[in-house]
Amino acid sequence: MPRKLRADVVVIGGGPAGMAAALGAKEGGAKDVFLLERGNELGGILNQCIHPGFGVQLFREELTGPEYAGVFTERLSSSGVEVMTSTLVCEVKKDGRVKAVNRSGVWEFVARSVVMAMGCRERTRDMLRIPGTRPAGVLTAGLVQYLVNVEGLLPGREVVILGSGDIGLIVARRLELEGVHVKAVVEIRDSLSGLVRNYVQCLLDFDIPIFFSHTVTGIQGEGRVEAVEISRVDEDWRPVSATAYWMECDALLLSVGLIPENELSRRMGIPLYPESGGPYIDENGATELPNIYACGNVSSVFDLVDYVSMVSERTGRAAASTAARRPVAFTLERGEGVGMVVPQRIRERGEGDIFFRPARSVRDGSVQFRMGEKIIFENTMPVCRPSEMVRIPSKKVSWPGETGKVRVEIHGEPIRGI
């Protein structure tokens, strides 16, 4: 028989999103708040991100991932939140029942509100369909980051990285510092996916070349990776076979994107937003189901942990509230030049923040929120890049009295290369 516990708020996942949500729920007045984490400690992905670059927005200081996690772990220890680590949530029901397992058995929580903060996982080779043999040595970049930084293991001696996103760049530097030779970063787009700062400090500092408009079209090796085939791609990202050549290496790292971890949400029947892979949410992180909330990378992939903490605290507070939700006033949709928008629903005008990710790099950008022909927000941005989410405080938008659909657009001059 599972042990039953009554709760005001149950938060699933103890990364930065879950930690901030649990704190927010307490501050919002919830009495019994549980934070459930499957790993043996709090912090989520931050524990493996040993590089500095966290907390600039929130603390005006560059912390490493473990330092940032440490600040929140300390806050939690004096907050009255019930933290349960090594506890895996295996089921969430629409009515707020949460089933979890740990060493002492099966637990069933009956929660007034549930906050999902399960983070995301990496896209893998299967999703990319690279032909060739199936040797050892093909790994995702985030997994390698874990192996190097937490376990102290190296993936190989000579590696090629597919994808120029920030995780791949940061791992490239880490490997070079440990004496591994990173032979190349191969990027299918014609511009950098990650931050320029990471390009300089992770690739240029170590003389690692980057090949734009190229991809990996084959993998060779008996038992272990021996070489990868690299080809140029045309404008539609189709490989040009005449340009193919083999590069010797003993590992291929994939840094080709993250997808929100939404098995639990899917089984619960929550509608998911195709562009982000997470549930549709409003400015408070409320999903389409009453009493079910989502925040952090499970709702859409964030690049700045500071933003994750900010929105998640708000979500925790909302989850603690017993007031009825207002009806949806606006729906936000991506328009030209925009990859995805979060939140996708606005209930209260002027509350919270709106984030969106540029679909491509542009210079002299102009951001617009449109309702039909009417512009309700406009701003200029010297540069916009897919690696940097844009944040617009909702109070800066001139929300009209009527309700409806709002399209977010970015226009500007495309940037090629760096």
Partner 1 sequence: MENQFEESDDIICTACPMGCHTVVRRENSSYHVRGAQCPRGERYVKVEATDPRRVVATTVKVRNGSIRRLPVKTSLPFPRDRMRELVHSLSALEVSAPVRRGETIKRNLLGEKVDLVATRDVSVQ
Sequence-distant (≥ 6) Cβ neighbours of residue 26 within 8 angstroms: 33, 79, 80, 81, 316, 320
Closest CB to ligand FAD among residues 54, 399: 54
Order across the sheet with 362-371: list the strands.
345-346, 330-334, 404-414, 362-371, 374-384
Strand-strand pairing, 210-211 and 181-186 = parallel
Q: Least distance in Å: CB of 64 to partner 1?
A: 5
Sequence-distant (≥ 6) Cβ neighbours of residue 240 within 8 angstroms: 231, 232, 233, 234
Sequence-distant (≥ 6) Cβ neighbours of residue 335 within 8 angstroms: 370, 407, 408, 409
Stretch of 39-47, 131-139, 152-160, 274-282 lying at the interface with ligand FAD (CB under 6 A): 39-47
418 binds, among ligand FAD, partner 1, none (CB under 5 to 8 A by kind): partner 1
| Nearest residue to 264 (alpha-carbon basis) of 43, 98, 82 | 98
Any contact of residue 115 with ligand FAD (CB under 6 A)? no
Any contact of residue 319 with ligand FAD (CB under 6 A)? no
Any contact of residue 297 with ligand FAD (CB under 6 A)? yes
Sequence-distant (≥ 6) Cβ neighbours of residue 82 within 8 angstroms: 32, 33, 34, 35
Max CA pair span of the chain = 66
Place of tokens 């590089």: 51
Q: Least distance in Å: CB of 156 to partner 1?
A: 18
Q: Least distance in Å: CB of 316 to partner 1?
A: 24
Q: Which residue is nearest to ligand FAD (CB)?
A: 15
Closest CB to partner 1 among residues 206, 211: 206
The binder of ligand FAD chosen from 10, 35, 83, 117 (CB under 6 A):
117
Q: How many residues lie near ligand FAD (CB under 6 A)?
A: 37
Q: How far apart are CA 359 and CA 361, in angstroms?
A: 7
Any contact of residue 156 with ligand FAD (CB under 6 A)? no
Q: How far apart are CA 70 and CA 381, in angstroms?
A: 34
Q: Least distance in Å: CB of 287 to partner 1?
A: 32
Closest CB to partner 1 among residues 196, 376: 196
12 binds, among ligand FAD, partner 1, none (CB under 5 to 8 A by kind): ligand FAD
Q: Name the residues that contact ligand FAD, by CB under 6 A.
A: 12-18, 36-39, 44-46, 49, 53-54, 88-89, 117-119, 142, 145, 166-167, 170, 261, 296-298, 302-306, 308
